[in-house]
């Protein structure tokens, strides 16, 4: 017989070098662990070895409760039970090899209690034990089911603990030990019926055989008092109410309870002495469609050691994975597979505690160690989300194993995993939370402090490190680092590292340091030249804050080697870029509530942040805030510092910056290149604070939108790139050098007023600026406050005028908004300006009461009303000296000229003026002389006419009909010949216009045959020329480009014939014989035939 103690001549000790447990002598010293169960292990070995001499059958049976009968025939014994419960006392209860004991019971819920009261030996079952109900075998000396034994029962309780007859018959199930209770060992095969319970209970319990209880429960419990609670559904609860010295539960066999539950539980009577749960075998509680399985390894939270090897399997190929729970003060997992995968979703694996150690129903471990040959799986196999895996310790956690919580292949998100030692954590494992058709799941590492160092590989450990660079790079899950004191990034170029953390595709990185107390929280960086980068949908998120103070990258973090500011952060994915209103708050009191969008970077230091490395996205937004603990630390705020060289590039992504209130500052010393992105600066800052973009001489580039609130002062050199915009509901004041490097694009300034008077403007002659009111409904007033050199602009009636005299000589100046709904008025004093190219007015309506003029020799004037009319009142005019389209007026509705024939002047001989409106009959043209009109044309579309002209969006339609007669002689085809002057009748001309010329394409009959009233069709009919007196008119369209009418006639064609005449002898008549008759004049392709039958000819004489 195999000894059950052979697994225990050694014990497992963690090896840092191997990142695994190694076998050592029981007497080897190690980190406070000791082998308190050696004597019992040896005793178990001797007990099982000596069990080979068992008696053939039980002896001395006396029924003391219930009713039944005992009979024996040779080596077979039969107990016929006639009551629901039967109590039998035995001198011994053994079943030898080849012998058998059979219980015939009234039903599956019947119970036969067999108590051994004589002798000093353990019961030894080496043959067969059969029952259709439940069999309880209680022997204070122990129970051994030997190798080769077979137990087939409805249910089995084998124990060295006792229960009184009265309690048993009353339905109570608590078992109590007497003095010197023996071990319970199974080395054979135990089969329980569907929904049955198998419970092995004693101070030391061992299984090296097999236990099968489909849909039921298997319990191995070690203690001095154990209560079983039968639920009636095949499941049972076990509670070790009182421990025993050196309690031991060991399984190196096979336990199966598919659709049910397996529990291994042990409690020690003395916290100073170890209780041990040791599994090196296979435990299966696979799930069914209607119910998942559950495995519980319930070690003592005070002095208990739970060792897990082999297999724990609660997977399901039909439904969701089940639950695995492993507890104990010390937990060691090595060479083990824990599987809670399921076809429709992953299950739950908890080792050492629940999520973040906050599950009150699970006792937290003090020490957890997981070897690199250990695997935890809670995958969704087909559909559904990955499950949850937790490896928690209130003290130390050394984790080198593998975790898989993948989403389903046909749909579902990745699950979540947490690995934490609240005091110390060494993570060198590998987590896979990917999902083929869903969101990547999360890995949470959340001890008190986190130290990240360079180098290493997945599975490696470096002294003092929580996690290594290479371990982070290996994770196929979003990595969430959450500490309560600090996260420190060491020099990633050390220990063989390359100075860079490159996360997997579509994996995000999130680091948070937060607490609710007064402790300062911080994220620190040792080497500003290091890099953290994410790819695909991955994002980067750093946050420090809480009830105390929180900072990121600041230099006053004592006790750390270097703190040089946030290093390089790169998000390579295309990125999310929402409006500012849609950016998550991410306050510290909302920590963990969601992860920012794909391809984004977020840095939130509640009370300060310093950036030293570059920040780069590929379209995703960047958010930097040093006031992110609003609502938690109300008085907290800080300075934002972006050092020189910490360039921010978003490739069209937005940049969101905010900092503390009065007394704090934001210092931007780096280059900021946003492309078409927007820069929001201080949007969430309390009102009344004047915002200044930096206070140093560092160059600041802006190529996107800078969105502000209140007055903004630009008092340091600033470069404005093409496409740059600054929006604020106050004033924009430039008091330093502004380099207008706009190229072919615009610089847009949207405010209540803009002050350039104290600024030095560079590259003015090549720059383009648009001045916009902040409110799109605002009325704009222009006047000649500066004479011909410039003008006064009131972008808001309640704000001071914008003096644009310093902009004289600019290439292009635009005043107003394309989406404006107010009215821009040039008052009676007029408005003159000198722009090298265009002076443009934009608003809902344009009203000109005085002279509007671009006095530059090459200048143009454009006035565009986006919603309403362009009106020139008496005394008003528009003048420009440039060539080409010198004066352009664009009305969304009507052009109204109340100023007479000289209201529009293009003084250059090569220049002209154009008006755009909806239609001619609602306009007031005021006697303006024009050279052309053009219909069906909007602003920006090609102009066909030359000289001055009116352009309308209205598209008049001309109706064309065929008239007269089209005639020909049959020629074998359908071609028809029509004439524009005689065969077309036209109607639909407007505004006194005349349609002069029609052009057309092919004309053809309905068919080629001769006849009258035949249909004629003319294709591609167009108006090619229209006039209004001497004015050319363009843009007329025909209502149908193909015109038909029954105006065709095809006359018959006359044919001639020839024939051969035969000679004859004079016979006194003129009759002639004809042959070979031929038709002359048949159209090619037609066939003609002459019937000569009966035909005659005659000679002339």
Choose among 597, 450, 614: nearest CA to 533.
Answer: 614
- The pLDDT tens digits of the residues spanning 348-370 come to 999 999 999 999 999 999 999 99
Residue whose tokens read 């010198």: 886
Average pLDDT, stretch 848-857?
A: 96
* Res 749 pLDDT > 90: yes
* Res 245 pLDDT > 60: yes
pLDDT for the residue 413? 96
pLDDT for the residue 521? 81
- The pLDDT tens digits of the residues spanning 947-988 come to 999 999 999 999 999 999 999 999 989 999 999 889 999 899
* Res 87 pLDDT > 60: yes
Same domain? 1037 vs 1075:
no
- With cut-offs at 50, 70 and 90, classify the pLDDT of residue 40: very low
In terms of DSSP bridges, do strands 718-721 and 701-702 run parallel, antiparallel, or are they unpaired? parallel
CA distance 295 to 299: 13
Q: What are phi and psi of 68, to 5 degrees?
A: 175, -175
* Res 903 pLDDT > 80: yes
CA distance 950 to 928: 10
- With cut-offs at 50, 70 and 90, classify the pLDDT of residue 597: confident
Average pLDDT, stretch 300-325?
A: 93
Judge whether 230 lies within some domain.
no
Q: What's the length of the chain? A: 1101
CA distance 279 to 308: 5
Most confident of 517-521, 734-738, 1007-1011: 1007-1011
Residues 569, 633, 517: CA angle, nearest 5 degrees: 90
DSSP secondary structure, 867-906, as one string: SS-EEE-TT-EEEE--SEEEEEEEESS-EEE-S-TTSEEE
- With cut-offs at 50, 70 and 90, classify the pLDDT of residue 269: low
Let me know: does 932 contact 945? Beta carbons within 8 Å. yes
Q: Which residues of 497-510 are buried (b: 16+ CB within 10 A; e: fewer)?
A: bebbbbbbebbbbb
- Lowest-pLDDT range of 99-108, 215-224, 282-291, 324-333: 282-291
Same domain? 866 vs 991:
no
* Res 37 pLDDT > 50: no
CA distance 848 to 874: 9
Choose among 85, 159, 88: nearest CA to 77.
Answer: 88
pLDDT for the residue 583? 63
pLDDT for the residue 274? 67
pLDDT for the residue 573? 84
Judge whether 92 lies within some domain.
no
What are the angstrom distances between the C-alpha of 230 and each of 103, 104, 159, 243, 266?
A: 21, 22, 16, 21, 19
* Res 709 pLDDT > 90: no
| Last residue in a domain, options 648, 676, 704 | 676
Choose among 915, 889, 769, 777: nearest CA to 826.
Answer: 889
Judge whether 965 lies within some domain.
yes
Same domain? 1014 vs 1064:
no
* Res 522 pLDDT > 70: yes
pLDDT for the residue 660? 60
Helix/strand/coil (H/E/C) assignment for every residue in 588-615: HHHCCCCCCCCCCEEEEECCCEEECCCE
Judge whether 842 lies within some domain.
yes
Q: Which residue has the higher pLDDT, 1097 or 822?
A: 822
pLDDT for the residue 444? 94
- The pLDDT tens digits of the residues spanning 381-426 come to 999 999 999 999 999 999 999 999 999 999 999 999 999 999 999 9
Judge whether 1 lies within some domain.
no
Let me know: does 444 contact 397? Beta carbons within 8 Å. no
Residue 27 class from Cβ within 10 Å (0-12 exposed, 13-18 middle, 19+ buried)? exposed
Judge whether 669 lies within some domain.
yes
- The pLDDT tens digits of the residues spanning 89-111 come to 999 999 999 999 999 999 999 99
Handedness of CA 577, 572, 652, 754 (dihedral sign): positive
pLDDT for the residue 465? 65
CA distance 629 to 304: 42
- With cut-offs at 50, 70 and 90, classify the pLDDT of residue 1095: low
Secondary structure (3-state) at 248: strand
Same domain? 1040 vs 1070:
no
Contacts of 567 (CB under 8 A, 6+ apart): 489, 525, 527, 528, 529, 530, 531, 532, 612, 613
Choose among 99, 128, 98, 129: nearest CA to 114.
Answer: 129
| Last residue in a domain, options 917, 946, 975 | 946
* Res 49 pLDDT > 70: no
Same domain? 478 vs 522:
yes
* Res 631 pLDDT > 50: no
Choose among 609, 615, 613: nearest CA to 651.
Answer: 615
Choose among 494, 487, 562, 491: nearest CA to 520.
Answer: 487
What are the angstrom distances between the C-alpha of 33 and each of 243, 334, 865?
A: 20, 17, 86
Same domain? 834 vs 978:
no
Average pLDDT, stretch 525-537?
A: 90
Q: Which residue has the higher pLDDT, 829 or 128?
A: 128
- Lowest-pLDDT range of 441-455, 586-600, 873-887: 586-600
CA distance 571 to 603: 13
Same domain? 1009 vs 942:
no
Judge whether 8 lies within some domain.
no
Same domain? 938 vs 1066:
no
Q: Which domain holds residue 975?
A: 957-1051
Diameter of the chain measured on Cα atoms: 165
Same domain? 566 vs 632:
yes
| Last residue in a domain, options 676, 706, 722 | 676
Same domain? 859 vs 800:
yes
Number of domains in the chain: 4
pLDDT for the residue 48? 42
* pLDDT > 70 in the chain, percent: 83
CA distance 602 to 655: 10
Let me know: does 146 contact 1? Beta carbons within 8 Å. yes
* pLDDT > 90 in the chain, percent: 56
pTM of the model as a whole: 0.69
pLDDT for the residue 681? 60
* Res 887 pLDDT > 70: yes
Q: What are phi and psi of 505, to 5 degrees?
A: -55, 135
- With cut-offs at 50, 70 and 90, classify the pLDDT of residue 46: very low
Q: Which residues of 971-981 are buried (b: 16+ CB within 10 A; e: fewer)?
A: eeebebebeee
- The pLDDT tens digits of the residues spanning 772-804 come to 999 999 999 998 764 334 456 888 878 888 888
Same domain? 622 vs 476:
yes
pLDDT for the residue 919? 98
Same domain? 939 vs 964:
no
Secondary structure (3-state) at 12: strand
- The pLDDT tens digits of the residues spanning 677-695 come to 766 665 433 332 334 444 3
pLDDT for the residue 42? 42
Contacts of 457-464 with C-beta under 8 Å, sequence gap 24+, read 458/428, 458/429, 458/430, 459/19, 459/372, 459/400, 459/428, 459/429, 459/430, 460/19, 460/428, 461/16, 461/19, 461/398, 461/400, 461/426, 461/428, 462/495, 463/16
Half-sphere exposure of 65 (CA within 13 A, CB side): 19
DSSP secondary structure, 911-953, as one string: EEEEEEES-STT-B-TT---SEEE-S--TTSPP---SSEEEES
pLDDT for the residue 692? 43
Judge whether 456 lies within some domain.
yes
Segments in 556-691 forming alpha helices (H): none
Average pLDDT, stretch 646-675?
A: 71
């Amino acid at each position: 017989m195999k000894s059950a103690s052979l697994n225990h001549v050694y014990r497992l000790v963690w090896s840092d070098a191997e990142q695994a447990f190694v076998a050592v002598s029981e007497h080897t010293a190690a980190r406070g662990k000791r082998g308190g169960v050696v004597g019992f292990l040896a005793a178990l070995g001797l007990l099982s070895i000596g069990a080979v001499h068992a008696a053939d059958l039980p002896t001395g049976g006396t029924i003391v409760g219930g009713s039944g009968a005992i009979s024996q025939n040779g080596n077979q014994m039969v107990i016929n039970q006639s009551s629901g419960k039967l109590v039998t006392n035995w001198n011994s209860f053994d079943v030898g090899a080849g012998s058998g004991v059979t219980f015939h019971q009234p039903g599956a819920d019947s119970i036969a209690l067999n108590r051994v009261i004589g002798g000093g030996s353990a019961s030894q079952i080496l043959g067969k034990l059969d029952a259709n109900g439940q069999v309880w075998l209680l022997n204070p000396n122990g129970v051994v089911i030997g190798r080769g034994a077979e137990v087939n029962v409805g249910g089995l309780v084998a124990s060295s603990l006792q229960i009184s007859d009265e309690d048993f018959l009353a339905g109570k199930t608590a078992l109590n030990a007497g003095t010197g209770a023996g071990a319970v060992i199974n080395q054979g095969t135990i089969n329980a019926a569907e929904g049955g319970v198998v419970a092995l209970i004693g101070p030391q319990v061992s299984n090296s055989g097999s236990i099968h209880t489909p849909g039921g429960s298997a319990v191995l419990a070690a203690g001095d008092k154990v209560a079983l609670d039968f639920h009636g559904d095949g499941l049972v609860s076990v509670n070790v109410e009182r421990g025993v010295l050196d309690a031991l539960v060991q399984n190196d066999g096979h336990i199966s309870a598919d659709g049910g539950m397996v529990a291994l539980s042990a409690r020690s009577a003395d916290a100073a002495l170890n209780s041990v749960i040791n599994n090196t075998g296979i435990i299966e509680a696979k799930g069914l469609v209607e119910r998942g399985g559950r495995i519980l390894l319930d070690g003592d939270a005070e002095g208990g050691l739970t060792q897990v090897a082999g297999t724990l399997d609660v997977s399901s190929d039909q439904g969701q994975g089940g639950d695995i729970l492993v507890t104990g003060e010390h937990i060691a997992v090595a060479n083990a597979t824990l599987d809670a995968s399921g076809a429709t979703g992953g299950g739950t694996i908890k080792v050492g505690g629940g999520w973040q150690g906050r599950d009150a129903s699970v006792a937290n471990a003090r020490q957890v160690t997981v070897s690199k040959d250990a695997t935890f799986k809670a995958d969704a196999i087909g559909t559904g989300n990955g499950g949850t895996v937790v490896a928690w310790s209130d003290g130390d956690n050394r984790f080198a194993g593998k975790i898989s919580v993948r989403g389903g292949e046909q749909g579902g998100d990745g699950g979540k995993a947490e690995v934490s030692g609240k005091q110390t954590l060494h993570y060198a494992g590998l987590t896979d939370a990917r999902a083929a058709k869903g969101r990547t799941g999360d890995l949470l590492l959340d001890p008190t402090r986190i130290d990240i160092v360079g180098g290493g590989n997945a599975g490696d450990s470096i002294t003092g490190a929580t996690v290594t660079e290479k371990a982070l790079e290996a994770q196929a899950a979003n990595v969430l680092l959450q500490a309560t004191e600090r996260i420190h990034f060491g020099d990633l170029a050390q220990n063989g590292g390359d100075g860079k953390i490159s996360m997997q595709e579509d994996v995000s990185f999130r680091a948070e340091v937060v607490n609710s107390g007064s402790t300062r929280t911080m994220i620190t960086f040792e080497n500003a030249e290091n890099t953290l980068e994410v790819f695909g949908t991955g994002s980067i998120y750093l946050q420090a804050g809480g009830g105390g103070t929180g900072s990121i990258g600041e230099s006053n973090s004592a006790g750390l080697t270097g703190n040089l500011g946030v290093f390089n952060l790169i998000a390579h994915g295309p990125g999310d870029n929402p409006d500012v209103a849609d950016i998550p708050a991410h306050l510290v009191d909302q920590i963990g509530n969601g992860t920012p969008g794909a391809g984004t970077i977020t840095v939130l230091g509640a009370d300060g942040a310093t950036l030293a490395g570059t920040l780069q996205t590929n379209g995703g937004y960047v958010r930097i805030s040093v006031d992110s603990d609003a609502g938690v630390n109300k008085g907290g705020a800080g300075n934002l510092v972006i050092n020189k060289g910490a360039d921010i590039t978003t490739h069209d992504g937005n940049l969101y910056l905010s900092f503390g209130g009065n007394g704090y500052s934001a210092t931007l010393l780096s280059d900021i290149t946003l492309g078409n992105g927007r820069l929001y600066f201080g949007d969430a800052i309390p009102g009344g604070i004047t915002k200044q973009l930096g206070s140093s001489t560092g160059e600041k580039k802006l190529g996107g939108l800078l969105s502000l609130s209140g007055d903004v002062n630009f008092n340091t050199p600033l470069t404005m790139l093409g496409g740059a915009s600054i929006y604020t509901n106050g004033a924009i004041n430039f008091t330093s050098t502004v380099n207008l490097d706009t190229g072919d694009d615009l610089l847009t300034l949207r405010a209540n007023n803009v002050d350039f008077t104290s600024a030095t403007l560079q590259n003015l002659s090549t720059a383009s600026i648009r001045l916009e009111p902040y409110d799109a409904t605002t009325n704009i007033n222009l006047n000649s406050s500066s004479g011909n050199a410039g003008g006064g602009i009131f972008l808001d009636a309640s704000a001071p005028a914008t003096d644009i005299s310093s902009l004289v000589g600019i290439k292009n100046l635009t005043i107003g908004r394309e989406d404006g709904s107010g009215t821009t008025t040039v008052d009676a004093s007029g408005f003159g300006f000198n722009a090298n190219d265009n002076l443009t007015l934009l608003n809902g309506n344009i009203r000109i009461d005085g002279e509007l003029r671009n006095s530059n020799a090459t200048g143009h004037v454009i006035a565009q009303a986006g919603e309403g009319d362009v009106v020139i009142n008496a005394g008003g005019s528009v003048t420009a000296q440039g060539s080409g389209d010198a004066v352009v007026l664009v009305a969304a509705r009507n052009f109204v000229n109340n100023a007479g024939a000289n209201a529009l002047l293009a003084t250059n001989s090569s220049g002209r003026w154009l008006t755009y409106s909806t239609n001619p009959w609602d306009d007031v043209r005021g006697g303006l002389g024009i050279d052309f009109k053009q219909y069906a044309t909007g602003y920006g579309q090609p102009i066909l006419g030359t000289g001055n002209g009116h352009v309308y969006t209205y598209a008049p339609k001309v109706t064309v009909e065929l008239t007269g007669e089209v005639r020909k002689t049959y020629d074998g085809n359908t071609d028809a010949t029509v004439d524009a002057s005689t065969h077309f009748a036209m109607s639909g001309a407007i505004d006194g216009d005349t349609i002069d010329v029609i052009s057309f394409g092919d004309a053809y009959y309905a068919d080629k045959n001769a006849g009258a009233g035949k249909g004629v069709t003319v294709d591609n009919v167009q108006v090619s020329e229209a006039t209004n007196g001497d004015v050319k008119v363009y843009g007329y369209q025909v209502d149908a480009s193909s015109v038909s009418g029954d105006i065709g006639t095809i006359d018959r064609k006359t044919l001639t014939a020839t024939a051969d005449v035969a000679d004859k002898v004079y016979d006194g008549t003129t009759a002639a014989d004809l042959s070979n008759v031929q038709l002359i004049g048949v159209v090619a392709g037609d066939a003609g035939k002459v019937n000569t039958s009966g035909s005659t000819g005659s000679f002339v004489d």
